[in-house]
Chains A and B, each alone.
Chain A
Amino acid sequence: MPPPLIELLHISKHFAGVKALDDVSLAIAPGEIHCLAGENGSGKSTLIKVISGVYQPDGGEIAIDGAPTRSLTPISTIAHGIQVIFQDFSLFGALTVAENLALSTELRERRWLVNWRDVRKVAKEALVRLGVQLDLDADLDTLPPSGRQLVAIARALMSSPRLLIMDEPTTALTRKEVEALFGVVRDIQSRGISILFVSHKMREMLEISERITVLRNGRVVGEGPTGEWDEVSITRAMTGHDPSGETYRWTRPATPPPPRLETRGFGVPGLFSDVNLKIHPGEIVGLSGLLGAGRTELAIALFGMYPAYHGSIFIDGQQVRLGSVQDAIAQGIAYVPEDRLGEGLFLTQTINRNLLASSYSALAHHGFINFAQAHERSSAMIKGMQIVTPSGDQPVIELSGGNQQRVVIGRWLMNDARIMVLNGPTVGVDVGSKAGIHRKIRDLAASAGLAVLMISDDVPELVQNCSRIVLMHRGRLIEDLSTSEVTEAQVADRLKALV
């Protein structure tokens, strides 16, 4: 058996006292598709940067073809035939496809002048090699993401690599494009090139790879041929615990109080109509349906953003008028939007400021903010929401997706929310954080008597957390399913039937 193409032995790497990699060993055989799995922040990116020579490890050894190497630099790794395709592709939108492909070659030749004929020739060869056709003279940013990815792959293959590292290559692709990409990947493999496929999507890694290595908190927590893995075992390795089978069920008390939120004949012309919905304190109700069914519109109408609504809304038995966002906040309604990065967070601001963003007025006396009290409250919330950060002064942009979502939810809790509308609460959040967020939402519902409306496409998520799931279609509620009576498969089938 030939020695591994590259072997990492007991690699460790620290950043300012934090162990990013701790005793990591990894071997990639020639011609192997190896998957590196792990959640955000598990050390995958650091490991890629060590292999590509961007970071120097603090400890451990690296051997290439069985021969130990002193240190890798970005240039020496390329000489060893290691190429990385970064998640953002590192391409140039304003340059043509041809130039994007030929730039590295020209730079390597240390040229001063551009020979446009050569550029086209080099680019053409690169595309032929990959077996794809693209318009050489098109500006790169006129291509769809899948086209850009092909350019990135073609460029990486130009230097005849022996190992191609692909960092989260499927993020921007549709399912069909992913399949096409896998075809390309297998084709590359058939030429004897090894591939390190970095991902957190379980189905994809099971489909494409031959070996899987799982990282968690900078350590290797599992390694083996793909045949020995399944979704449950990968999840367990990635998160450190079993995918939670626990479900949350709200039980109707013998003498129920009036519903926390009740709508009668609620509608906004042209968007949705005749919505009758009841959510009791402590209850989590799921809302699903196809995109465009009016789900998001219903959510933001409850948040006071469509003042011209029909029907009536009752909170704790009292009729209220939600004519503005201010009204909704005053009534204790919180809305966590789908696009938390765009609408929900001030990314470059600190966690404290993000948490306090909607409660400054409550903390102000005669126009002056009581900062001591503010700080105390935000610190308590960071702890309560289990946001992982050295301090509340860290900008939100440095947090992982799961932690960012906790900041958004935490902000609303500071406002003494009574009703929480969550739109896609765990979209883009990795498995472990997802479970954490679910647990938090249930805790809040159970202990604080929050009424929660959870909008989601994720059927397991809805079945696990909600006592009822309401299906919306073309602006109307068409079904009200009790989760104690239906299975995930049945809910999924009903959704499919709507198409």
Chain B
Amino acid sequence: MSQLLRRSETVIFLVVLFAVVVIGIINPAAWELGNVFSLLRANVITGIMALGVLTVLISGGIDISVPYFAMAAMYVTLLGMLNTGYSGVALPFIAATVIGLLLGVLNAFFVDSMRMIPMIVTLGTGTMVRGFLLGVVGTANINIDRMPPSLIHFASLYLVKRVQPDGTTIELSAMLVIYLALALLVHLLLRHTMIGRGVYAMGGDKEAARRAGFDVRRITYFVYCLSGALAGFAGLLYVSMSWLANPRDLAGTEIDVLAAVVLGGASIFGGRGSVLGTMLGVFTLVLVNNSLIILHVSTTWQRVAVGAIVIAATATTAWRDRKRLA
């Protein structure tokens, strides 16, 4: 029992539970089935990106280039589809994932080979990729009339459909399955493969990991490539779900992703974090944003809330880790 209580996932779960109850009391409408479905749907994109950032954070790095890589991968893939008239689903997602992965190689190269600080590297590559995308590739929105129907059709798949008494229909998006599958995959990677354990070891003590026989270079490439790949995938999924591809979208959401991961108990010093915690963190963040919308709080104040969450969550995990080290 005390083992269970000491786990940070338990603490976050209790926080979520508390938030759920409080929000339910303030606004019972929040827990209508329709809102619950849209709440879960809103977890998907932030969640997939968070899985990558989590891995980087555990390894002792940080990745804030994620949304910019996502947009670049998405936009280039879509333009390719439009120019060739291709109308499949699997291949575009593979393409977006690979583009993200290649951009991740860029991050890993600067972090590992040039021994630069991950924060600065990913800030730089993210800005560069965004600038390059807008300056060279294009700035035009791809509206619903030009969006490949195959993608829209795919992202509209649902698990449950209900017709409400007032005649509107509500659906539980099938994209949740993709998110859960990717989460399971990353969980298995981190927990049950040697390279996953290497990510934890490296985040704990890089020199010791090297001495123990881990290939820290390979691990660095692994985490940034995984993060880039998940970002690329999430980018294309995002526009498929929103039916509009705007290369300027998602800018600034790196802080949401980071907030979710840190809220989920991952340490900014590296070495700690879990997929379950991150998923709870994402859920909490989405819940807070969603509740503020329902309560008619303006979007600017939502940013204040997200910023405050980052500070509060980082402060508590930092405090926890310092206490452990002492």
| Per-position binary interface string of chain A over residues 219-246, scored 1 when its CB falls under 8 Å from any chain B CB and 0 otherwise | 0000000000000000000000000000
Q: Are B205 and A91 in contact (CB-based, < 8 A)?
A: yes
Question: Quick one: which of A362-397 are within 8 Å of B by CB?
Answer: none
Contacts of B197 in A (CB 8 A): 95, 99, 103, 106, 114
Q: Measured between alpha carbons, how far is A111 from B192 in the docked complex, in Å?
A: 11
Residue of B nearest to A107 (CB): B213
Q: Measured between alpha carbons, how far is A479 from B205 in the docked complex, in Å?
A: 49
Q: Are B214 and A114 in contact (CB-based, < 8 A)?
A: no
Give chain B's interface secondary structure class: helix
Most buried by B among A103, A104, A139, A142: A103
Given contacts A107-B194, A111-B194, A113-B192, contact A92 B213 (CB under 8 A): no
Contacts of B324 in A (CB 8 A): 93, 139, 141-142
Q: Are B325 and A90 in contact (CB-based, < 8 A)?
A: no
B203 within 8 A of A: yes
Given contacts A93-B271, A93-B324, A141-B324, contact A107 B214 (CB under 8 A): yes
Q: Measured between alpha carbons, how far is A86 from B271 in the docked complex, in Å?
A: 20
Q: Measured between alpha carbons, how far is A28 from B324 in the docked complex, in Å?
A: 39
Question: Quick one: which of B154-182 are within 8 Å of A by CB?
Answer: none
Q: Are A104 and B212 in contact (CB-based, < 8 A)?
A: yes
Given contacts A107-B214, A141-B324, contact A92 B194 (CB under 8 A): no
Q: Measured between alpha carbons, how far is A44 from B147 in the docked complex, in Å?
A: 68
Contacts of A106 in B (CB 8 A): 194, 197
Q: Are A92 and B208 in contact (CB-based, < 8 A)?
A: yes
Q: Measured between alpha carbons, how far is A480 from B324 in the docked complex, in Å?
A: 43
Q: Measured between alpha carbons, how far is A417 from B108 in the docked complex, in Å?
A: 51
A112 within 8 A of B: yes
Contacts of B196 in A (CB 8 A): 114
Q: Measured between alpha carbons, how far is A398 from B195 in the docked complex, in Å?
A: 34
B211 within 8 A of A: yes
Residue of A nearest to B196 (CB): A114
Which of B191, B194, B271 is close to A94, meaning CB atoms less than 8 Å apart? B271
Q: Are B200 and A90 in contact (CB-based, < 8 A)?
A: no
Q: Are A92 and B200 in contact (CB-based, < 8 A)?
A: yes
Given contacts A112-B194, A142-B324, contact A95 B212 (CB under 8 A): no
A208 to chain B, nearest CB (A): 25
Q: Are B272 and A92 in contact (CB-based, < 8 A)?
A: no
A88 within 8 A of B: yes
Given contacts A106-B194, A113-B194, A114-B194, contact A92 B201 (CB under 8 A): yes
Contacts of B211 in A (CB 8 A): 86, 90
Q: Measured between alpha carbons, how far is A113 from B198 in the docked complex, in Å?
A: 11
Q: Are B212 and A107 in contact (CB-based, < 8 A)?
A: yes
Q: Measured between alpha carbons, how far is A371 from B208 in the docked complex, in Å?
A: 42
Chain B, interface size category, equals: 20 to 34
Contacts of A175 in B (CB 8 A): none
Q: Are A90 and B212 in contact (CB-based, < 8 A)?
A: yes
Q: Are B212 and A114 in contact (CB-based, < 8 A)?
A: no
A109 to chain B, nearest CB (A): 9
Residue of A nearest to B324 (CB): A141
Residue of A nearest to B207 (CB): A90
B321 to chain A, nearest CB (A): 9
Most buried by A among B201, B267, B271: B201
A108 within 8 A of B: yes
B156 to chain A, nearest CB (A): 37
Contacts of B205 in A (CB 8 A): 88, 90-93
Which of B192, B203, B325 is close to A114, meaning CB atoms less than 8 Å apart? B192
Contacts of A114 in B (CB 8 A): 191-194, 196-197
Contacts of B271 in A (CB 8 A): 92-94
| Per-position binary interface string of chain A over residues 142-156, scored 1 when its CB falls under 8 Å from any chain B CB and 0 otherwise | 100000000000000
Residue of A nearest to B209 (CB): A92
Which of A94, A99, A113 is close to B272, meaning CB atoms less than 8 Å apart? A94
Contacts of B201 in A (CB 8 A): 92, 95, 103
Contacts of A111 in B (CB 8 A): 194
Which of B192, B193, B208 is close to A90, meaning CB atoms less than 8 Å apart? B208
Contacts of B208 in A (CB 8 A): 88-92
Contacts of B214 in A (CB 8 A): 107
Q: Are B200 and A94 in contact (CB-based, < 8 A)?
A: yes
Contacts of A141 in B (CB 8 A): 324-325
Question: Quick one: which of A318-363 are within 8 Å of B by CB?
Answer: none
B34 within 8 A of A: no
Contacts of A92 in B (CB 8 A): 200-201, 204-205, 208-209, 271
Q: Measured between alpha carbons, how far is A232 from B267 in the docked complex, in Å?
A: 49
B3 to chain A, nearest CB (A): 8
Contacts of A86 in B (CB 8 A): 211
| Per-position binary interface string of chain A over residues 277-307, scored 1 when its CB falls under 8 Å from any chain B CB and 0 otherwise | 0000000000000000000000000000000
Q: Measured between alpha carbons, how far is A108 from B214 in the docked complex, in Å?
A: 10
Q: Measured between alpha carbons, how far is A466 from B209 in the docked complex, in Å?
A: 48
Given contacts A86-B211, A107-B212, contact A93 B204 (CB under 8 A): yes
Residue of A nearest to B210 (CB): A90
Q: Measured between alpha carbons, how far is A270 from B255 in the docked complex, in Å?
A: 47
Q: Are B204 and A95 in contact (CB-based, < 8 A)?
A: yes
Q: Measured between alpha carbons, how far is A188 from B130 in the docked complex, in Å?
A: 60
Contacts of B267 in A (CB 8 A): 94
Given contacts A90-B211, A107-B212, contact A113 B200 (CB under 8 A): no
Question: Quick one: which of A101-127 are within 8 Å of B by CB?
Answer: 103-104, 106-108, 111-114, 116
Question: Quick one: which of A159-213 are within 8 Å of B by CB?
Answer: none
Q: Measured between alpha carbons, how far is A114 from B208 in the docked complex, in Å?
A: 19
Q: Measured between alpha carbons, how far is A112 from B209 in the docked complex, in Å?
A: 16
B75 to chain A, nearest CB (A): 35
B326 to chain A, nearest CB (A): 10
Q: Measured between alpha carbons, how far is A238 from B325 in the docked complex, in Å?
A: 34
Residue of A nearest to B273 (CB): A94
| Per-position binary interface string of chain B over residues 190-234, scored 1 when its CB falls under 8 Å from any chain A CB and 0 otherwise | 011111110011011101110111100000000000000000000
Most buried by A among B197, B203, B324: B197
A267 to chain B, nearest CB (A): 32
Residue of B nearest to A75 (CB): B213
Q: Measured between alpha carbons, how far is A351 from B200 in the docked complex, in Å?
A: 36
Contacts of A93 in B (CB 8 A): 204-205, 271, 324-325
Q: Measured between alpha carbons, how far is A283 from B168 in the docked complex, in Å?
A: 92
Q: Measured between alpha carbons, how far is A92 from B197 in the docked complex, in Å?
A: 11
Contacts of B203 in A (CB 8 A): 94
Residue of A nearest to B3 (CB): A137
B324 to chain A, nearest CB (A): 5
Contacts of A103 in B (CB 8 A): 197, 201, 212
Contacts of A89 in B (CB 8 A): 208
Q: List 20 A-B contacts (CB under 8 A).
A: A86-B211, A88-B208, A89-B208, A90-B211, A92-B200, A93-B205, A93-B271, A93-B325, A94-B200, A95-B200, A95-B201, A95-B204, A103-B201, A104-B212, A107-B194, A107-B214, A108-B213, A113-B192, A114-B197, A139-B324
B interface list, Cβ under 8 A from A: 191-197, 200-201, 203-205, 207-209, 211-214, 267, 271-272, 324-325
Can you list the 3 inter-chain pairs with the closest CB atoms, starting with the nearest? A94-B271, A90-B208, A92-B204
Other than the given A107-B212, A141-B324, 19 more pairs (CB < 8 A) read: A88-B205, A88-B208, A90-B211, A91-B205, A92-B201, A93-B204, A93-B325, A94-B200, A94-B267, A95-B197, A95-B201, A95-B204, A104-B213, A107-B213, A107-B214, A111-B194, A114-B192, A114-B193, A114-B196
